[in-house]
Structure 1
Amino acid sequence: MLLSLPLLVAATVLPLQEAAGTSPEIRAEDIARRIQTLSSDAFGGRGPGSQGETTTIDYLIEQFQAMGLEPGGEGGGWTQPVPMVELTPEASPKSRFVGPGGEATELMHGRDVVLWSEQLGGEISVADSEVIFAGYGIVAPEFEWNDYAGLDVKGKTVLVMVNDPGFATQDPALFRGNAMTYYGRWTYKFEEAERQGAAACLIIHDEAAAGYGWTVVDQSWSRPQLQLGGDVKERSLRVDGWISGDAATSLVAAAGQDLAALAAAASTREAKSGPLPGVTFFTSFGNRMQRVTSANVVAQRKGRTKPDEYVLVCAHWDHLGTREGSEDEDNIYNGAVDNASGSASLLELAEAIAAQETAPARSILFLVTTAEEKGLLGSKYYAENPIVPLAKTVCGLNIDVANTLGPMKDIVVVGYGASELDQDLAAMALAQGRTIVPEASPEKGYYFRSDHFSLAKVGVPMMYMGEGTVSVEHGEEWVTRKKAEFTRRHYHKLSDEYDPSWDLGGAVEDVQLFHGLVNLWANEPRGREWSADSEFRAAREKSLRGR
C-alpha cells in the first residue's frame, strides 16, 4: 500500500536538503549546448549502426569521462554491445487485394499500406491469401476477450484494428476504458497474429486510436527495420504492416461489408470476427538482411555504503538517421527534441551527481540506450542481459524528451498510480511549488512507447515523466496548442531541429527535480514498490525471491 502524501512529504524533503550534498548549478545554456551538439548534422541523425552512432557514442563517453564518472559497461568499459539484424525491403512491395469478382485493387506503398517483414531474407511473398477481419486481434483471458475464437487464420491475412475496445467505447468496464492496455499496442497485434499462425497481419490505421498520424507510420516503417540478434528466427508471420483507413474501407467494401459497422460490432462482447468473403491479399518484395552491432553507453557513480545496489537513469541516444536523397536536400532526421533533449538532460543530471562532494549511499547507473525508435531494442537487450542484477536495481527513471516550453506549474506522470515513485515525485514537486498530474491521453499508450517499459516488464519500478500542462507564463491552452503543433509539424520529421528560441527554464526545473529524486532513492534505506494492483508487481517479486 502506498504511503499517504503528508507522511511522505516529511520523509522526502529532508533527504533532498541534507543527504544530496551541494548540487552544482544546472544551467539552461549547458542543456542547450548539448542538445545543439547531439542534433547537429555532424551526428547524422544518430541512426544505430551508422557513422552517426560512432560520433554519438564517442561524444557521450567523452562527456562522462570529463565528469569523472566510472565506466559501467561490459568488461569494465563504457558500452554494452547490442547485437541486432537490419532487415531492408529491396524495393517497394507490390501489393493488391482481389475482390469476389476477380477485380484487383493495387495498394500503393506509403499511401495505402506500409509493409515490412522480419523474415531473415530472400523473397517475401503472400499470394491469394484469404483476408479475415479479426476485430482488435486480442486474446485476453483476464478481460474475457478472444477475437480469434472459432477462427482458423493459419496461412491467412488478418485485418485488425489498433488500440482496444475500451478506447473505442469509452466504457470503463471494457479493458481499462480510455487508457490503452498493452493489448492495444501494434507490437502485441503482430505477436498475437503470429501465435495464431497468420501469414500476414495488417493493422487498420486510425489517428485517434493509434495516437499518431499516417505520416509517422510511413516515416517510421518505410526504412530498414532492426531487431535484436537473439530474436532472429524464422516466423510464420511473413508480413507485418499497416493499412490506411481509406484503403481498409475499400477492402472491406469489396466483400460487400461496411468497415464502420464491423468496427462497432467488434467493440462489444458479442463481437463477431470472420472472413471477408471472396477477398484475397497479395504482396511480394525482397528482404535483405545485415548483421549490425550497436551499443548502449553506460556510466556510474559508485555508492558510498551500498555500492552493489543501484538507482538507474536512462534516456535513448538514437533517432531516425539519414534518408536517401539528393545532396541539395535536407535528408537528416536531427531529432533535437526526440531525443537529443532527453540525452542532454541525462548528461546534465549526471554532471550534477558526479560533482557531489559526498557520494550517495547506493550507486547510480546512467544508461544511454540505442534503438529506442526501432522498438525499445537497447533497453530490451539490457533488461534481458542486465549489467546490474535486476533484484539489486532499486528503481529508476527514464528521460524521453525535455521541456522546451518554459517553466510549468505541474509535471505529468505517465502511468500514474503504478508505484510508490509517484508520491516521491509529488513531494519533490511540492518543494518546487508544482503539482503532479496524470497523463491527459492514456489511450495513446505512451507508457508502452519508451525505454522504462522494458525495465518495468522485468519488474524494476520505473518512473516516466512528461512535460507539464500549465505554463507559468502562458497558461494551459497555450501549452496544449504548442504540443499539438510539435506533433503535427515536427514529430519524427526532418524539421525536428534545435531552435534557439526555446525556453529551457522548464527543463532546468525538471533536471533539478530528477536530481532530488535520484538522491532520495539512492540514500533512503528502503527501496520502492509497485502498487498492489500493478501488472509488474509479480515480476518484481519473482526477481527479489531469486536474489
Structure 2
Amino acid sequence: MFSNNKMRVGFSALSFLAVAACADTGSVEKTAADRAESFSASRIEADVRFLADDTLKGRDTGSEGYRISANYVAAEFAQLGLKPAGENGGYFQEVPFKTAKLDVESAAMSVTVNGEEKTLTAGDDFYMSGDVNVPSGDVSGDLVFVGYGIHAPDLGHDDLTGVDLEGKIAVLIGGAPTSFNSEIRAHHGSSTTKKKELARRGVVGTLVVSTLAGEKRRPFSRLKKYLGSESFDWVAPEGTDDGTPRITASAAISHDVARMLFEGADMSFDDVLAEAEEGTPKAMPLMTSASIKRDSILSDTFHSPNVLAVLEGSDPELKNEYVVMSAHLDHIGVSEHAKGDDKINNGALDNASGVAVMMEVARAYVRSGERPRRSILFAAVVAEEKGLLGAEYFAKFPTVAKEQMVANVNVDMPILLYDFADVVAFGADRSSLGPVTAEAVGSIGVALSPDPMPEEGIFTRSDHYRFVQQGIPSVFLVTGWGPSVDGKDGGAIFREFLGKTYHRPHDSLDQEINYQAGAKFAYVNWLILNEVANADERPRWNAGDFFGRTFGGLGVDASEAR
C-alpha cells in the first residue's frame, strides 16, 4: 500500500501531467494509433492508487472517505475545465439518504388457519426489513396465492388478470420462471416490479416464499442473522410523490409456514412448488388469513454526492443533447468481521478503475482540443453498492433536461488483470448502440463476445439500468473472457476475481493490475462515446425490444418515448 507521502507525490505528478497536456491543445491527434497512445496508463494508475488507498476506508456511501474521493474527482473535473453540472453551480448533486432498520421488538405476524389464530416468530417463521420510504405498515386480510405475481401477457404469462385482489394479502413465489430470458427474468422477478403491479390491483400486503431451487441455494434459515440490519434508500425531494399506491407490509416466509397457509386450498404448497418448477403455478384463493405489522427505525437524513461535469458540445443545436458516461465512485467500506488483519474493502477494480477510465476519457477530449457535436456529461455516482441508488436519483432527478439525455455509456468493474482481446457489451444488442459498439471495438482489433454468464442478469445489475428505466438506451462494457493478448485465460481470471476477490479486502492495490489494459479500455469506451456524440441521429431502441417497449416506448425513437 502507498503511504500518505507517496500518495501525495502521485497526485502532484498527475496534476502536472494533466496541466501540461491541457496546455498543448494545439496538436490534434489524427490517427487511431496516435489516439490510442494518448490514453495514459500512468494517469489511470495514479487515479486508482489515490481512490483505492487505505486512507479512504473503502469509500462507503456517506463516509468521510467517500467525500474525499468525490472532492478528488471534482477537482480533476475543474482542472480540466469541464463545466459544473451539479446543483447550485457546483460539481455535486447532493443525494439525500436515510437508513432504515426493522424494529424487531414490534414486528409481528399472525395467521388464522381453520379458525385458529397462530402467532409467528420473526426470524424463525418470517423475515422483514426496514424501509426508508414506507417505514410502517399494519395490515390484515384474506390470503390469495398469485403464483409468481407477474403480469406479463406479452410473454404469455399472466398470474393476475381475473383474480380478486382488492384488500387482499398476496402470497407469491419469489423470482420469475426460468423460461424467461435472463435479463427479462431479472426485471419481472424484481420485488419492486411485482409490488407496483400488485398495489395497483389493491393488494395491501405480500408474503413471499422461495422456489425449491431458491431454498436450496439460500435457505430461509440464513435470513435470521440479518434481522435488524440496515437498509439504504434515497429520500425523494418534496413535491415529487406521484401518489402511486404502495404496499406497506411485506414479509418472506418459510416453507413450513407456507404449507400451513395452503391448508384447505385446492392444491397443497408442495404441489404448487412442483408446478412452479415448470413455470406455471396457478393463482387461487387460500382458506387462511394473516395480519402483518412492521415499523422501521429511521436515521436522520444525510447527504453523499454524485459528481457531475459537462464537456460542452460544438454543434449549436446538438450541444443541448447529452451522452452520459457514468462510473460508480463508492465501494463497501470496512468489514469488521472480515478474516485476517485487513478489514478495508478498497475497491481497486470495483470501481476505482472504472472512475479512472472515465476521467481518462475526459482528459483525452481536453488534451486533443476537440469537442464532439453533442455534450458529454461525466457522472461519478454514489451508492451503486446500495442498490444503484445514486444513478437512480440522478436519472429520476437529473440536473439537465431528462429528454435531452440520449444515451448512457457505463463503466463498472473492468477487470484489469490481463491484456483483454475481447469485451462483453451488456445492452448493446437492444438498441442502435449495438452496431456502434461492434464497429468501435472492431476498429482496434478487439472482439465482441456474448454474455458469458447470462444466468446472472448482469444487464439489470449496474448503474446503466437506472438510465434504461428512464427510457435511455445504454451500454455497459466489461473485459472479456476469451484468451488475452498476453496469453492468459481471461475467463479464468475473471471467475477467480468473482470467487475470491469481489467485495473483499483483496480487491486492493496488491493485485497485479495491468494499467496499460486500463488505457486500452478507456480508448474503447471513448470510441463508443465519441461515435454517439457525433452521430446525426440519437440512439434508438430496436423495434419491439422488451426494455425499449417497457420503458422507452414500443420500439420507437427514444425522443418519442418519454
TM-score (norm 1): 0.79
Q: Note if 1:61 corresponds to 2:66.
A: no
Per-residue CA deviation, residues 132-189 of structure 1 (Å, 9 max, x unaligned), is 4422111123234332345445555434334322x2xx3xxxx547852521223213
Residue 523 of structure 1 is aligned with which of 534, 542, 549? 534
For 2:14, the equivalent position in structure 1 comes to: none
- Asked if the contact 1:390–1:460 (Cα under 8 Å) also holds between the matched residues in 2, the reply is no
For 1:4, the equivalent position in structure 2 comes to: none
- Asked if the contact 1:219–1:492 (Cα under 8 Å) also holds between the matched residues in 2, the reply is no
Identity over aligned residues, as a percent?
A: 26
After TM superposition, the structure 1 = structure 2 runs for residues 128-207 of structure 1, keeping only pairs within 5 Å, are: 132-153=144-165, 157-165=169-177, 167=178, 170=179, 175-176=180-181, 180=185, 182-205=187-210
For 2:255, the equivalent position in structure 1 comes to: 249
Q: Note if 1:115 corresponds to 2:129.
A: yes
For 2:236, the equivalent position in structure 1 comes to: 229
- Asked if the contact 1:398–1:463 (Cα under 8 Å) also holds between the matched residues in 2, the reply is yes
Residue 26 of structure 1 is aligned with which of 39, 43, 46? 39
Per-residue CA deviation, residues 212-231 of structure 1 (Å, 9 max, x unaligned), is 96889988993232133246
Equivalent position SS for 2:95: strand
Equivalent position SS for 1:290: coil
- Asked if the contact 2:176–2:185 (Cα under 8 Å) also holds between the matched residues in 1, the reply is yes
Please state how far the C-alpha of 1:464 moved relative to its aligned partner: 1.3
Task: Please give the alpha-carbon distance, in whole angstroms, between the structure 1 residues aligned to 2:366 and 2:212.
Answer: 43
Please state how far the C-alpha of 1:487 moved relative to its aligned partner: 3.4
For 2:553, the equivalent position in structure 1 comes to: 538
Please state how far the C-alpha of 1:107 moved relative to its aligned partner: 4.2
| Alignment CA distance shift 1:277-1:235 (3 Å) | same
For 1:446, the equivalent position in structure 2 comes to: 458
- Asked if the contact 2:428–2:474 (Cα under 8 Å) also holds between the matched residues in 1, the reply is no
Please state how far the C-alpha of 1:336 moved relative to its aligned partner: 3.3
After TM superposition, the structure 1 = structure 2 runs for residues 93-492 of structure 1, keeping only pairs within 5 Å, are: 94=107, 100=113, 106-108=121-123, 113=127, 115-119=129-133, 121=135, 124=136, 126=138, 132-153=144-165, 157-165=169-177, 167=178, 170=179, 175-176=180-181, 180=185, 182-205=187-210, 222-230=229-237, 236-240=246-250, 243=252, 248-254=254-260, 255=262, 261-266=271-276, 271-274=281-284, 277-278=287-288, 280=290, 282=292, 284-306=294-316, 307-322=319-334, 332-472=344-484, 478-492=489-503
- Asked if the contact 1:407–1:471 (Cα under 8 Å) also holds between the matched residues in 2, the reply is no
Task: Please give the alpha-carbon distance, in whole angstroms, between the structure 1 residues aligned to 2:324 and 2:386.
Answer: 22
- Asked if the contact 1:20–1:519 (Cα under 8 Å) also holds between the matched residues in 2, the reply is no
Letter in 1 for 2:232: Q
Letter in 2 for 1:509: K
Please state how far the C-alpha of 1:358 moved relative to its aligned partner: 2.6
Moved more, 29-38 or 417-426: 29-38
- Asked if the contact 1:21–1:358 (Cα under 8 Å) also holds between the matched residues in 2, the reply is no
For 1:12, the equivalent position in structure 2 comes to: none
Task: Please give the alpha-carbon distance, in whole angstroms, between the structure 2 residues aligned to 1:261 and 1:467.
Answer: 44
| Alignment CA distance shift 1:316-1:497 (3 Å) | same
Task: Please give the alpha-carbon distance, in whole angstroms, between the structure 2 residues aligned to 1:217 and 1:32.
Answer: 42
| Alignment CA distance shift 1:55-1:278 (3 Å) | same
Task: Please give the alpha-carbon distance, in whole angstroms, between the structure 1 residues aligned to 2:438 and 2:224.
Answer: 36
Any stretches of 5+ residues in structure 1 without a counterpart?
A: 1-14
Letter in 1 for 2:480: G
| Alignment CA distance shift 1:493-1:309 (3 Å) | same
- Asked if the contact 1:87–1:289 (Cα under 8 Å) also holds between the matched residues in 2, the reply is yes
Per-residue CA deviation, residues 15-55 of structure 1 (Å, 9 max, x unaligned), is 99559984663344433442333233433433333323322
Please state how far the C-alpha of 1:446 moved relative to its aligned partner: 1.9
Please state how far the C-alpha of 1:514 moved relative to its aligned partner: 0.9
For 1:9, the equivalent position in structure 2 comes to: none
| Alignment CA distance shift 1:112-1:400 (3 Å) | farther
| Alignment CA distance shift 1:179-1:292 (3 Å) | same
Task: Please give the alpha-carbon distance, in whole angstroms, between the structure 2 residues aligned to 1:21 and 1:309.
Answer: 28
Letter in 2 for 1:86: T
| Alignment CA distance shift 1:93-1:419 (3 Å) | farther
Task: Please give the alpha-carbon distance, in whole angstroms, between the structure 2 residues aligned to 1:115 and 1:330.
Answer: 30
- Asked if the contact 2:151–2:157 (Cα under 8 Å) also holds between the matched residues in 1, the reply is yes
Per-residue CA deviation, residues 272-326 of structure 1 (Å, 9 max, x unaligned), is 1235554746554442253233322111222233433332211122233456789
* Root-mean-square deviation over aligned CA pairs: 4.1
Moved more, 200-209 or 52-61: 200-209
Residue 86 of structure 1 is aligned with which of 87, 91, 99? 99
Letter in 1 for 2:254: A
- Asked if the contact 1:397–1:464 (Cα under 8 Å) also holds between the matched residues in 2, the reply is yes
Letter in 1 for 2:441: A
Letter in 1 for 2:522: V
Q: Note if 1:74 corresponds to 2:81.
A: no
| Alignment CA distance shift 1:74-1:28 (3 Å) | same
For 2:53, the equivalent position in structure 1 comes to: 40
Please state how far the C-alpha of 1:457 moved relative to its aligned partner: 3.0
Letter in 2 for 1:192: E
Task: Please give the alpha-carbon distance, in whole angstroms, between the structure 2 residues aligned to 1:484 and 1:202.
Answer: 35
Task: Please give the alpha-carbon distance, in whole angstroms, between the structure 2 residues aligned to 1:88 and 1:374.
Answer: 14
For 1:3, the equivalent position in structure 2 comes to: none
Please state how far the C-alpha of 1:397 moved relative to its aligned partner: 0.5
- Asked if the contact 1:64–1:299 (Cα under 8 Å) also holds between the matched residues in 2, the reply is yes
Task: Please give the alpha-carbon distance, in whole angstroms, between the structure 2 residues aligned to 1:82 and 1:383.
Answer: 12
Letter in 2 for 1:297: V
Please state how far the C-alpha of 1:77 moved relative to its aligned partner: 1.7
Letter in 2 for 1:338: D
Equivalent position SS for 1:224: strand
Any stretches of 5+ residues in structure 2 without a counterpart?
A: 1-27
| Alignment CA distance shift 1:519-1:125 (3 Å) | closer
Task: Please give the alpha-carbon distance, in whole angstroms, between the structure 2 residues aligned to 1:333 and 1:309.
Answer: 37
Residue 511 of structure 1 is aligned with which of 518, 522, 526? 522
Task: Please tell me whether Structure 1 or Structure 2 has the larger radius of gyration of its CA atoms.
Answer: 2
Task: Please give the alpha-carbon distance, in whole angstroms, between the structure 1 residues aligned to 2:402 and 2:227.
Answer: 31
Please state how far the C-alpha of 1:342 moved relative to its aligned partner: 1.8
Task: Please give the alpha-carbon distance, in whole angstroms, between the structure 1 residues aligned to 2:460 and 2:452.
Answer: 15
Please state how far the C-alpha of 1:369 moved relative to its aligned partner: 1.6
Task: Please give the alpha-carbon distance, in whole angstroms, between the structure 2 residues aligned to 1:330 and 1:189.
Answer: 40
| Alignment CA distance shift 1:135-1:270 (3 Å) | closer
- Identify which of structures 1 and 2 has the higher relative contact order when contacts are C-alpha pairs closer than 8 Å and 6+ apart: 1
How many equivalent residue pairs?
516
Task: Please give the alpha-carbon distance, in whole angstroms, between the structure 1 residues aligned to 2:272 and 2:421.
Answer: 44
- Asked if the contact 1:87–1:288 (Cα under 8 Å) also holds between the matched residues in 2, the reply is yes
